[in-house]
Amino acid sequence: MKKILLVLYILFISISSYAQDFGGVHTSNFLPLQNIANDPTGIVRDSTKWNINVLSGQVLFLNDGQSQETDVFQKLANTGILSLDKLLGSTSNITVANGKIIFPSISYKFNHKNAIAVHFDLRGNGVYRASHESVAKLFKDVESPDGLDDLQNENLNGIVNTWTEYNVTYSRLLFENDKHEFAGGVTLKYLQGGGAGYFNMDGIDVSYDKTQINNLDFDLSYAVNETLYEITEDGKVKFNGDSGLGANIGFSYIYKDPNQKDKPYLFKAGLTINDIGSIKHSNNKGNKTYHVSMQDVPYSRFQGVETLGALIDTLKNSVDFKEIDGDDYSLSLPTTYAINADYCYSKNIYINASFSYQPSVYGKVIKSFKTKSVTTYLTPRFENKTWGFYLPMRYHNKLGANAGFGARWKGFYIGSATVIGNLFKSDSESSQFYFGVNIPIGKTI
C-alpha cells in the first residue's frame, strides 16, 4: 500500500466542528449564501432578488494541541491518515484537517415570502489521535526504552472523510405582522463520497526492557475505500465514491419595534440542525480487522515503517496475527445543533451570541472518539449595505478563548476568527482565515 497523503485540497474542504462558518461575518445580514449553513432562513429575508456567490473559502489551522484520553477536538494539518511517517513525526498527540470551500452558487427570491438557493460545497475532515505520546514513539525507529512508558489499554487511531454536497435550500416566511416574523428553511443534500477511511489500534498493551519489547498486544482495524486508494496512486483529487443523502433544517424569529423604524429588527433568534445524514462506503479497497500478539520483539522491527500498509506487513511476521475481512461501513456527517440571538442596539450596531453543540464524531466506527464539542460566540458588529466590521469572540470547551476580526466592503469580505487572540499568545493553538465574494443582483423585494 503506497503512502497516503491528503493532497492540499483537504485544507479547504470541511466545516469546522467547533466554530461557526466564517466566524465574524457569520452574523452578517448581507451575506445570505455564505451563511446559509448558520441560517437557512436568511435567503428569504435578504432584500435583493438574486444573490451570487462567486467563491468563498475558509481554512482552520490548529497547532500542537495536546489531547487527553478521550479528546477528539479537531486540528488542521495537511497529512493523511495512512502516512505514518508524517503523523508520528509530529510532537502532538492529535492532528486534524478541516476547512470549507463554497463554489459558485446562487439564490433567487420568488417573492416576499419564498426563496430558493442552489449551492455546491466541497467538504471533509481528517483526525489522527494517540491516547498517549509513547504510542506514537513506539513506531518511530526506537532503539532503546529510554523515555518510553509501559502502556495498558491505550489507542492510536485516525480517520478521513471527504465528500461533495449538491445542495438545494428552500426558505419561507411562515408568519408576519407588524411586530413578529417567523421563518423556516430546509436544505436537502445529495452527497458524493470522496476519499474515506479509518484505522484504529485499540487496547494497546506494551512492556519494554533494555534490549527488546517484551510484549505487544492490540487489535487493529482499518478500512479504505477505492477513491482514497486511487488518490494515492495517481495523486489526483477525486470525488467518485459512493453516494448518500443529508439535510439541514432551521427556524428563525424576529421581533420588530414599530416605534423604531430605523432598525431592521430589534431582536432575532434562530435554531439550526446541520449535517444530518451519512455515506455508506461499499466499494472498498480493504476493510479488515486483526488481532496482534507479539513477544520478545527487537526495537529494530519497526524501523523504516512509514505507512499503514508497511506496518501491517511488519506485523504479519508476529506469532499471533488473525485477520478478519469486514463488510461495508458508514461514515456519518458531523451533525451540529446551534442556537443564536442577535440584538440591534442602534441602526447599524448589533451584538450576536451563538451556541453550538456537536456530539461525538465518528464514535460508531472508532469507539474511543467520544469527545463532545461545545462552542460559544459573542460578536459585536457594525454594518450597513456598504461596510461591515466584525469582532468575533469565541470560547471552546477544549481550545479555550480566542478573538478575531472581519471586514466587508459590499460583497467582498475577509477575516479571521483568531487573529486578535493570537497576537497575545506566544504559542497559538489555532488560526482561522476566510475570504469570499458575493454579488447581489436585482431590485429590493
Residue 83's pLDDT is 44
CB atoms near residue 435 (< 10 Å) = 15
pLDDT digits (tens, 9 = 90+) for 138-177: 665 556 666 677 888 888 777 777 788 899 999 999 999 9
CATH (one of 2.40.160, 2.30.30, 3.30.390, 1.10.3470) for 8-444 = 2.40.160
pLDDT of 344 over the 70 cut: yes
Q: 186: closest CA among 277, 59, 314, 311?
A: 277
pLDDT of 30 over the 80 cut: yes
Angstrom distances, CA of residue 143 to CA of 77, 85, 130, 137, 176: 28, 16, 21, 11, 72
Q: Report the alpha-carbon distance of residue 293 to residue 315 in Å, rounded.
A: 9
DSSP letters of 51-109?
EEEEEEEEEEEE-S----TT-------S--TTBHHHHHTSSSSEEEE-EEEE-SEEEEE
85-95 average pLDDT score: 42
Q: Which helix (H) or strand (E) holds 268?
A: strand 267-281
Which residue carries 457594525 as its cell?
Answer: 382
For 419: left if phi > 0, alpha if psi spans -120 to 50, otherwise beta; the answer is alpha
pLDDT digits (tens, 9 = 90+) for 294-322: 888 777 777 666 666 667 677 766 545 55
Backbone φ and ψ of 133, nearest 5° = -60, -25
Residue 326's pLDDT is 58
DSSP letters of 140-178?
S---S-TT---EEEEEEEEEEEEEEEEEEEEEEEEEE-S
Q: Which of 26-30, 212-216, 265-269 has the highest mean pLDDT?
A: 265-269
Q: 148: closest CA among 158, 138, 156?
A: 138
Q: Is 341 helix (H, G, I), strand (E, B) or coil?
A: strand
pLDDT of 50 over the 80 cut: yes
Angstrom distances, CA of residue 105 to CA of 54, 77, 294, 438: 7, 28, 55, 9
pLDDT-based confidence at 70, cuts 50/70/90? very low
pLDDT of 89 over the 60 cut: no
pLDDT digits (tens, 9 = 90+) for 200-217: 888 889 888 877 888 888
pLDDT-based confidence at 13, cuts 50/70/90? very low
231 is written with which cell numbers? 488518490
pLDDT-based confidence at 126, cuts 50/70/90? low
| Mean of pLDDT over the chain | 76
pLDDT of 195 over the 80 cut: no
Which residue carries 478563548 as its cell?
Answer: 401
pLDDT digits (tens, 9 = 90+) for 354-392: 999 988 766 666 665 666 778 899 999 999 999 999 999
Residue 104's pLDDT is 83
Q: Report the alpha-carbon distance of residue 219 to residue 227 in Å, rounded.
A: 25
Q: Which of 187-201, 214-228, 375-389 has the highest mean pLDDT?
A: 375-389
pLDDT digits (tens, 9 = 90+) for 394-417: 888 767 788 999 999 998 999 988
